[in-house]
């Protein structure tokens, strides 16, 4: 129990650090794109500014859990900025097959770091760019979320060693998600990562919709 409490405290500390972290390169790139569009496409520039504002507000102000719909809005805002930056080099596909579960509480920042990892480490290094696909469906009593990219991929054996220097290894944010899922829902809910160098990466996670955490958090979100 003491070990679990220590791990949970560590995960919460890492989450706070993740919230406070504003990638300066991402921010500068986004502002540069917006600045370029101000005169030529002012409405597009305005919408991107709103997306940037939404992104930072969600990152800094959200509680420990948010409705799935809010987490998806956060990802859409992030993707809008990245698509403006990468233009035709980034294609995005959505498949939301669990629309009746959009009120389900999910841990804050459970999806955006995975999508960011797919773009930064999978698609961006690929000269021709590529595609990121996001699938949300219900499987039994679980929400099943999958992020697939056809980027450069990496050797999954790097996950079993201590090869932090691997250029395409999942980020600290993704590793933090794995730890949070295990501590919140049990070892069965760890991240599943499959990747093939040159072909892309698939990251899958499950969230129980009928767990005590989900039910109690739903009540709190309704009150809020």
Q: How confident is the model at residue 182 (pLDDT cuts 50, 70, 90)?
A: confident
Q: How confident is the model at residue 203 (pLDDT cuts 50, 70, 90)?
A: very high
User: For residue 30, is pLDDT > 90?
Assistant: no
Is the pLDDT higher at 125 or at 7?
125
- Give the alpha-carbon dihedral of 99, 131, 85, 120, to 10 degrees: 100
Residue pair 163/156 in contact by the 8 Å Cβ criterion: no
User: For residue 222, is pLDDT > 60?
Assistant: no
User: What's the pLDDT score for residue 19?
Assistant: 52
Whether the model clears a pTM of 0.95, i.e. scores above it, the answer is: no
The span from the CA of 98 to the CA of 95, in Å, is 9
Q: b/e per residue, 106-118, with b = 16+ CB within 10 A?
A: bbbbbbbbbbbbb
Is the pLDDT higher at 175 or at 133?
133
Work out the mean pLDDT of the chain and round it to a whole number. Answer: 81
User: What's the pLDDT score for residue 94?
Assistant: 97
Mean pLDDT within 150-159 = 87
Q: Which of 9-18, 33-42, 61-70, 147-156 has the lowest mean pLDDT?
A: 9-18
User: For residue 195, is pLDDT > 80?
Assistant: yes
Q: How confident is the model at residue 220 (pLDDT cuts 50, 70, 90)?
A: low
Rg for the chain, CA atoms, rounded:
18
User: What's the pLDDT score for residue 133?
Assistant: 98
User: What's the pLDDT score for residue 176?
Assistant: 80
User: For residue 90, is pLDDT > 70?
Assistant: yes
Listed ranges 3-17, 97-111, 158-172, 190-204; the one with the highest mean pLDDT: 190-204
User: What's the pLDDT score for residue 170?
Assistant: 60
């Amino acid at each position: 129990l003491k070990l679990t409490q220590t791990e949970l405290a560590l995960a919460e500390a890492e989450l706070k650090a993740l919230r406070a972290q504003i990638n300066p390169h991402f921010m500068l790139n986004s502002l540069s794109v917006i600045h370029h569009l101000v005169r030529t496409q002012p409405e597009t520039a305005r919408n991107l500014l709103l997306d940037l504002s939404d992104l930072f507000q969600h990152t800094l102000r959200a509680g420990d859990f948010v409705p799935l719909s809010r987490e998806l809005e956060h990802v859409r805002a992030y993707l809008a900025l990245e698509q403006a930056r990468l233009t035709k080099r980034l294609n995005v596909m959505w498949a939301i097959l669990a629309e009746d579960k959009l009120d389900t509480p999910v841990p804050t920042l459970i999806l955006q770091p995975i999508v960011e990892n797919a773009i930064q480490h999978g698609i961006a290094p690929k000269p021709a760019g590529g595609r990121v696909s996001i699938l949300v469906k219900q499987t039994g009593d679980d929400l099943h979320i999958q992020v697939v990219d056809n980027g450069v991929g990496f050797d999954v054996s790097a996950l079993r060693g201590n090869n932090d220097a691997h250029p395409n290894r999942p980020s600290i944010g993704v590793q933090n998600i794995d730890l949070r899922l295990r501590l919140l829902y049990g070892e069965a809910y760890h991240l599943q990562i499959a990747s093939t160098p040159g072909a892309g990466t698939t990251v899958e996670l499950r969230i129980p919709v009928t767990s005590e955490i989900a039910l109690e958090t739903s009540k709190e979100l309704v009150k809020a």
